[in-house]
Chains A and B, each alone.
Chain A
Amino acid sequence: MTTYIIRRLFLMIPTLLGITVMVFAVSRIAPGDPVSLSMGPGGQMDAERAADVREARMRLYGLDRPVHVQYLTWLNRVVRLDFGDSIKHHRPVIELIKGRLLITLTLNIIAFVIIYTVSLPVGVLAAVRHRRFFDRASSVVVFVLWSLPVMLVGQVMIGYFTGPHGWFPPSGLSANYADDLPFFPWLWDRLWHLVLPVLCLTYTGFAYLTKQVRAGMLDNLQADYVRTARAKGLSNRTVIFRHAFRNSIIPVITIMATLLPAMLAGSVIIERIFSVPGMGLLAFEAVTTRDYNVVMAVATVGGVLNLFGLLLGDIAYAIADPRISFESVE
């Protein structure tokens, strides 16, 4: 097992390099550049001066050098964990990411837990009540939720659930007076602000997971060993939970590894709608302002998180299913 993990960790290096090369190339191929953007539409500067200033800035950010040299300089710094400064914010990129990553992770992990706690029982129950009312109804509901576009739902939620007599705050992470609050009211205020963003982040996730659990359960419930267990006279509950459920949970674990990265990507939209200062909003702004250092850093951090997610998924796989082993067969 340990050798396997070490081997996987080493294999992550070329994958990560590949990711950074791709993102670097895409960000430089995209038209537009941060210098033109920071100089704005103009109207203020004399022509000669504008050209000089532009050249000086290109030099300052190292954008005048050939692309491969730029990439190697970047890589050289990143190996020493220096992501450089943001072109727009004039701050070290690490500093920008630090606070925001925590917010995005909080948001996603809460959403994650909710998706699992809702989907697992619904999936199991749907399989047990196969082709009965609960199965059909839950199926319709999760698919309707799945097909609602987040942009629209977010706006509608802000429109209906917030406002003077509304239930939730429309944006941000805490109230204006939050700094003066004692701890528990502060925490309450923070949670209250998280309700709508988390809701938006979760509702689309139910369908996928519920259907996976349901399908897995159905397969297993029709398997011979379940019939045997029933024939042994075990109670229905024991059959479902001890036998069928444990076997059908394996695909669910693999999904976990792919669902987390997908949700990190989805939170870009949600953070923007609810003005939540997380990684998504940072990434969005960085892409639209061509803030190359931030784009690269966000991509790298996202890549590392993804790769670790996949690795964790594989390890959890081995733990949940004794038939799977990563030791070489002797």
Chain B
Amino acid sequence: MNGRSGLLTFFIFLFLAVMIVLQILAMVQSDRLYERLNMLLDRLTSGGVARVSQVQQSPGKKDLPMEQYPGDEGDWLVWRQGAEPATLNPIHASGGTYSRYIVSGNIFETLLDYDPDEFKLRPWLAESYEVSDDGLEISFRIRNDVYFSDGHPITADDVIFTYETIVNPEIDSAHMANYYQDVDRAVKLGEREVKFFMKRVYFKSLEFLGGMEILPRHIYKFDKPEQFNKRISEPVGSGPYVFEKWDTGRKVVLNRNENYWGHKPKLRKIVYQFITNFTAAVMALRSGDVDFMRPLPDQYAELSNDKDFTEHCDCLSYWHPAVGYFWIGWNQDRPFFKDRRVRRAMTHLIDRELICATLLKVPEARIPTGNFYIFGPQYDSSIEPWPYDPDKAKELLDEAGWVDTDNDGIRDKNGVPFRFHYMIGNLPLHTQIVKLLKDKAARVGIEVIPDPYEWSVFIQRLQDRQFDAVSLAWHGGLAQDPYQIWHSSQIGNRGSNYVGFNNPQADAIIEEARRTMDEEKRNKLYRRFHRILHEEQPYTFIYTRPEQRFLDKRFENVIIHKLGLNQHEWYVPIQQQRYH
């Protein structure tokens, strides 16, 4: 009866639905068009294209700090990142490594820079610098041919603006401001000359001041601090790349700065793609959607032997000073770990070679004996790591008075059984190391209770020092100051001396080294400090390992410097270019 009319209604509805879908699609399309149009307009008005003539560069006329890069122009670099940065403002405290990778050196530049092949500072945006004999005055003269990407020259005002913004207590830059505590004031000597006066001598002051990423004052200036704190995107600097867009959750795209004051890199675009999943990232690399990534050690071990893979990708493994080290810390507030013999016994119980070879799967990994970069001048390479030796551990424990008096299989002393909680983050490697230690410790009469925590809880407990033993990795650096991690004034109160290392001799060395401007003398002090750490074993240093990267084979001129890789040197031969 109503069968036909029902069918008719159905078709009318279907038709309407199709029309609505088409309308939505058309709207999306026009949105996309407008977005692209707006972007082009933005670029025009921000001077990217219009101001080229103002800068007037004549290539090759000056002695630039970088060399002319060889190779063909064009192509993109697609860089996988494990997570999205919180901000692209270089002085925000929440920046972290993910935002560093994107902005440092690409968009923002510094007055001084480390020479990639020698561990030495060299002038970059500065033409020259001078440190007074007493180390209390540091002055910089800025080059007269350096410009921000919008054509404005870089002046002393920009440098002073950057410094004052960092130390402004209302600006979200607490981590940075910490580095400039010793600076008293900044004075403008001329249009291109700045002088910083120090409160006290500190050997890292030159590195910190020279390492400020200079912000253009005319763009970042603010009336209220929140204005600056909320400025997380659209960074503008002087570097070889300029910001194009940030698709939240997906990627950040940088374009080459066509007005760059120095030699331009060859790659036209760098795309930072956010892919959380490691398996997916490797697959994206294999299918050519991604060019560059840091793999997991397992993936590296497996794929570097895969012929099919190495035909398309280079597996790079290299050392540089920031590699850092992985450690287990023994909380010295606990009765067991007060005694250094017990801490040494713990070190003797951990088979670090086994960890490197079978758990970590990085055969090139090394066992460090101290906190400095193992190939750096502060590291005393004559110190041998304590060997894996359970018998020696037993001996040391007996000596320290930890013996099994009540025959329950667990050592004790003054009625306290040797049973401790080992706090770990929720990572497979940590869990495996705990199991290994638990097993070895049980054989000598020590009970280890693994305490895995989610990262945010882990950090809180670490800062409150609520742990018996903990493992973590520290980042390294070229000229490191051990003060924050090892000085006794940094115990408690949320300082980073979490294990409570308190050694007057070490304190004295740390303080003296901070005031020692002569590098050779300072390194000598540090080697002495290194030996104390080795004797005291506040940490058991587990491993330090080289960086590992996968890179698509089409990139040429990939040089491994003493300071790692520099993507500005890379290029792709024109016939192999993938993006146009």
CB < 8 Å neighbour of A47 from B32, B232, B475, B492: B492
Most buried by B among A56, A57, A171: A171
Determine whether the beta carbon of A36 is less than 8 Å from that of B463: yes
Give CA–CA (A50, B483) in the complex, Å.
14
Give CA–CA (A47, B491) in the complex, Å.
7
B518 to chain A, nearest CB (A): 24
Give CA–CA (A177, B472) in the complex, Å.
39
Chain B, interface size: which category? 35 or more
Chain A CB within 8 A of B460 CB: yes
- Contact residues, A156-204 vs B (CB, 8 A): 158-159, 162-164, 166, 169-177, 179, 183, 186-187
A81 to chain B, nearest CB (A): 19
Among residues of A, the one whose C-beta sits closest to the C-beta of B76 is A176
Among residues of B, the one whose C-beta sits closest to the C-beta of A47 is B495
Among residues of A, the one whose C-beta sits closest to the C-beta of B87 is A90
B281 / chain A contacts, CB cutoff of 8 Å: 170-171
Most buried by A among B174, B248, B491, B492: B174
Chain A CB within 8 A of B484 CB: yes
- In the complex, how many residues of chain A place their beta carbon closer than 8 angstroms to a beta carbon of chain B? 63
Give CA–CA (A212, B527) in the complex, Å.
74
Give CA–CA (A277, B288) in the complex, Å.
21
Most buried by A among B483, B493, B497: B493
Determine whether the beta carbon of A176 is less than 8 Å from that of B249: no
Determine whether the beta carbon of A275 is less than 8 Å from that of B484: no
B313 to chain A, nearest CB (A): 11
Quick one: given A42-B484, A88-B86, A179-B36, are A37 and B287 in contact (CB under 8 Å)?
no
Chain B CB within 8 A of A33 CB: yes
A151 to chain B, nearest CB (A): 11
Give CA–CA (A46, B181) in the complex, Å.
10
**Contact pattern, B 180-202, Cβ under 8 Å of A = 1, otherwise 0:** 01000000000000000000000
Determine whether the beta carbon of A155 is less than 8 Å from that of B174: no
Give CA–CA (A47, B284) in the complex, Å.
43
CB < 8 Å neighbour of B174 from A45, A100, A162, A169: A45
Quick one: given A33-B456, A43-B475, are A170 and B280 in contact (CB under 8 Å)?
yes
B456 / chain A contacts, CB cutoff of 8 Å: 31-34, 36-37, 288-290
Determine whether the beta carbon of A50 is less than 8 Å from that of B494: yes
Quick one: given A43-B484, A88-B86, A90-B94, are A159 and B493 in contact (CB under 8 Å)?
no
Determine whether the beta carbon of B276 is less than 8 Å from that of A272: yes
Give CA–CA (A47, B579) in the complex, Å.
49
Give CA–CA (A169, B94) in the complex, Å.
32
Give CA–CA (A275, B96) in the complex, Å.
21
Determine whether the beta carbon of B277 is less than 8 Å from that of A89: no
B230 / chain A contacts, CB cutoff of 8 Å: 85, 90
Determine whether the beta carbon of A277 is less than 8 Å from that of B249: yes
Among residues of B, the one whose C-beta sits closest to the C-beta of A156 is B279
**Contact pattern, B 440-478, Cβ under 8 Å of A = 1, otherwise 0:** 000000000000001111011011000000001011000
Determine whether the beta carbon of B276 is less than 8 Å from that of A31: no
Determine whether the beta carbon of A89 is less than 8 Å from that of B271: no
Chain B CB within 8 A of A51 CB: yes
Give CA–CA (A88, B96) in the complex, Å.
11
A197 to chain B, nearest CB (A): 11
Determine whether the beta carbon of B94 is less than 8 Å from that of A41: no
Give CA–CA (A170, B289) in the complex, Å.
9
**Contact pattern, A 274-304, Cβ under 8 Å of B = 1, otherwise 0:** 1101100110000011100000000000000
Determine whether the beta carbon of A275 is less than 8 Å from that of B275: yes
Chain B CB within 8 A of A44 CB: yes
- Contact residues, A62-94 vs B (CB, 8 A): 85, 88-91
Determine whether the beta carbon of A45 is less than 8 Å from that of B484: yes
Quick one: given A169-B284, A176-B289, are A273 and B485 in contact (CB under 8 Å)?
no
Determine whether the beta carbon of B25 is less than 8 Å from that of A166: no
Quick one: given A37-B455, A99-B249, A275-B276, are A88 and B288 in contact (CB under 8 Å)?
no
B25 / chain A contacts, CB cutoff of 8 Å: 183, 187
Among residues of B, the one whose C-beta sits closest to the C-beta of A290 is B456
Determine whether the beta carbon of A47 is less than 8 Å from that of B489: yes
Determine whether the beta carbon of A155 is less than 8 Å from that of B287: no
A148 to chain B, nearest CB (A): 17
B283 / chain A contacts, CB cutoff of 8 Å: 158-159, 162-163, 166, 170-171
Determine whether the beta carbon of A44 is less than 8 Å from that of B275: no
Most buried by A among B93, B271, B280, B289: B280
Chain A CB within 8 A of B562 CB: no
A163 / chain B contacts, CB cutoff of 8 Å: 283, 286-287
Most buried by B among A85, A162, A289: A162
CB < 8 Å neighbour of B250 from A158, A164, A173: A173
Quick one: given A89-B86, A90-B94, A274-B280, are A36 and B178 in contact (CB under 8 Å)?
no
B555 to chain A, nearest CB (A): 16
Determine whether the beta carbon of B459 is less than 8 Å from that of A50: no
A175 / chain B contacts, CB cutoff of 8 Å: 289
Give CA–CA (A91, B491) in the complex, Å.
35
A39 to chain B, nearest CB (A): 8
Give 7 A-B contacts (CB < 8 Å), ordered by A residue: A42-B463, A44-B175, A45-B174, A45-B484, A88-B94, A90-B86, A171-B283
Residue positions of B touching A, CB distance < 8 A: 25, 29, 32, 36, 76, 78, 86-87, 92-94, 96, 169, 172, 174-175, 178, 181, 229-230, 232, 248-250, 271, 273-277, 279-281, 283-284, 286-289, 312, 454-457, 459-460, 462-463, 472, 474-475, 483-485, 489-498, 579
Given contacts A89-B86, A272-B277, 4 further A-B contacts (CB under 8 A): A37-B456, A41-B462, A90-B86, A172-B250
